[in-house]
């Protein structure tokens, strides 16, 4: 059995989910598995434009991104958008089409909507016979993820499943698995020993600030309101932010750049203040970490917040001073903190990878 796990490198979440699935397939099966970035099989100019346009819009023109995101999900516009996408992908993703036809994988596990469309178009033409499973990496779902030819769609929670059913997707094609996360987020740690190793102080309420892969948001302003807390900041790819924070040397803050031990950093934290990306949320849920959201990208991240509100998970809509106030409530009230933990348990899906891998038969 030959398996392809495919993503597109626009944001870190799709890659992390794809890596988690690849690792799970290696752990639970003896199948051959390949992980690829769909954008590596497009023209270099297209790859650069795809990544850079997205980053520019969410960082500089979020209102335009919100308009585009909402418009292309409209039922009247969606058929036209689907037609344009098929032509666009057929021109720019010819190398990807050739790769899929040559390799004839038994299963394709897709972590992004672009390879969904390319693979399903080939399947409709009879050029590949692969089973195609799409793992949606947000809590709400945009119609751009849907393509005729998907054999299974895995989703984050029951709300997402009901949303897809309202689009006319048969229930037998859907599975509530959770978003795939690396299984190390489920591992129990000796927190005191881990704090010593990471240089984190014992017995102080610790706030993790996760900036997302691009280091966007009013991070310094938030840090300045958090006297009396221990703060860990993970800057991701935001090197300018990392350098600035290290230069200013906030006494309450320990600053990291791009890390590969986010599971350990979450384990030594009491609350995470974060952008509401699908993967970040899912990792925190599995880790049992209450969340406060800031600087949500209009569209997918604001929709994530909307869905989590249905379950009473996470705190959103706070001004910067209000974030500090909510953190004080969680620190000072055992009942408030325990309630937040209990709500998280409803949505946490630590077995997401194992459940998705079990679909491969």
CATH number of the domain bearing residue 194:
3.40.50.2000
236 and 278 together in one domain:
yes
Burial of 225 (0-12, 13-18, 19+ CB in 10 A): middle
Q: What is the pLDDT of residue 325?
A: 96
Burial of 90 (0-12, 13-18, 19+ CB in 10 A): middle
37 and 163 together in one domain:
yes
Which domain covers residue 243, as residue numbers?
184-347
C-alpha to C-alpha distance for 361 and 25, rounded to whole angstroms: 12
By C-alpha distance, which of 221, 320, 317 is closest to 276?
317
Domain boundary among 126, 150, 180: 180
21 and 157 together in one domain:
yes
DSSP character at residue 11: S
Q: What is the pLDDT of residue 215?
A: 65
Domain boundary among 122, 156, 180: 180
110 and 224 together in one domain:
no
By C-alpha distance, which of 153, 142, 173 is closest to 307?
142
pTM of the model: 0.93
In a domain, 195, yes or no: yes
In a domain, 37, yes or no: yes
Q: Tell me the CA distances in angstroms from 32 to 23, 98, 224, one per residue in order.
A: 11, 20, 50
**The domain that contains 62 carries what CATH number?**
3.40.50
Contacts for 276 with CB less than 8 Å, ≥ 6 apart: 291, 293, 296, 301, 302, 304, 305, 308, 314, 316
188 and 176 together in one domain:
no
By C-alpha distance, which of 213, 211, 216 is closest to 274?
211
In a domain, 317, yes or no: yes
pLDDT in tens, 185-227: 999 999 999 999 999 999 999 999 998 766 677 999 999 999 9
Q: What is the pLDDT of residue 214?
A: 64
In a domain, 355, yes or no: no
Q: Tell me the CA distances in angstroms from 351 to 33, 124, 354, one per residue in order.
A: 20, 32, 5
Percent of the chain with pLDDT over 70: 99
235 and 130 together in one domain:
no
61 and 192 together in one domain:
no
Contacts for 146 with CB less than 8 Å, ≥ 6 apart: 116, 153, 167, 169
60 and 125 together in one domain:
yes
Domain boundary among 135, 159, 180: 180
315 strand-pairing partners: 292
pLDDT in tens, 323-352: 999 999 999 999 999 999 999 999 999 999
The number of beta carbons lying within 10 Å of the beta carbon of residue 217 is 20
176 and 201 together in one domain:
no
191 and 174 together in one domain:
no
Reading the block at residue 220, the tokens are 């310094």
172 and 247 together in one domain:
no
In a domain, 354, yes or no: no
160 and 191 together in one domain:
no
In a domain, 361, yes or no: no
* pLDDT tens for the 361 residues of the chain, in order: 999 999 998 778 899 999 999 999 999 999 999 999 999 999 888 888 888 888 888 888 888 888 888 888 877 777 777 777 778 777 889 999 999 999 999 999 999 999 999 999 999 999 999 999 999 999 999 888 999 999 999 999 999 999 999 999 999 999 999 999 999 999 999 999 999 999 999 999 999 999 876 667 799 999 999 999 999 999 988 888 999 999 998 999 999 998 999 999 999 999 999 999 999 999 999 999 999 999 888 899 999 999 999 999 999 989 999 999 999 999 999 999 999 999 999 999 999 999 999 999 8
- Alpha helices (H) in the chain, listed in sequence order: 12-28, 44-60, 62-71, 78-92, 94-103, 113-124, 158-166, 191-198, 219-224, 239-248, 262-267, 278-287, 300-310, 320-332, 334-347, 352-357
Q: Count up the domains in the chain and report the number.
A: 2
In a domain, 356, yes or no: no
């Amino acid at each position: 059995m030959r398996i392809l796990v495919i993503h597109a490198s626009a944001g870190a979440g799709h890659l992390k989910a794809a890596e988690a699935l690849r690792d799970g397939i290696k752990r639970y099966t003896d199948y051959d598995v390949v992980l690829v970035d769909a954008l590596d099989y497009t023209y270099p100019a297209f790859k650069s434009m795809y990544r850079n346009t997205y980053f520019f819009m969410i960082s500089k023109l979020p209102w335009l991104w919100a308009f585009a995101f909402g418009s292309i999900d409209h039922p009247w516009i969606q058929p036209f958008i689907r037609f344009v996408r098929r032509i666009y992908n057929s021109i720019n993703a010819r190398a990807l089409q050739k790769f899929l036809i040559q390799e004839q994988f038994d299963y394709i596990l897709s972590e992004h909507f672009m390879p969904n469309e390319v693979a399903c178009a080939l399947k409709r033409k009879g050029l590949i016979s692969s089973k195609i499973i799409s793992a949606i990496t947000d809590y709400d779902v945009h119609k751009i993820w849907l393509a005729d030819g998907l054999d299974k769609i895995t989703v984050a929670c029951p709300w997402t499943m009901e949303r897809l059913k309202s689009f006319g997707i048969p229930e037998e094609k859907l599975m509530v698995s959770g978003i795939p996360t690396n299984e190390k987020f489920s591992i129990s740690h000796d927190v005191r020993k881990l704090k010593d190793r990471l240089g984190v102080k014992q017995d102080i309420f610790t706030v993790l600030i996760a900036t997302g892969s691009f280091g966007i948001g009013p991070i310094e302003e938030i840090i300045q309101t958090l006297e009396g807390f221990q703060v860990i900041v993970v800057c991701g790819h935001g090197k300018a932010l990392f350098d600035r924070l290290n230069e200013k040397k906030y006494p309450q803050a320990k600053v990291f750049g791009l890390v590969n031990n986010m599971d350990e950093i979450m384990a030594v934290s009491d609350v995470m203040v974060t952008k509401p990306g699908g993967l970040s949320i899912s990792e925190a849920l599995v880790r049992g970490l209450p969340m406060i959201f800031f600087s949500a990208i209009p569209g997918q991240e604001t929709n994530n917040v909307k869905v989590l509100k249905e379950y009473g998970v996470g705190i959103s809509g706070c001004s910067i001073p209000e974030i500090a106030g909510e953190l004080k409530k969680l620190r000072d009230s055992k009942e408030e903190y325990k309630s937040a933990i209990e709500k998280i348990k409803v949505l946490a899906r630590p077995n997401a990878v194992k459940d998705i891998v079990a679909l491969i038969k």
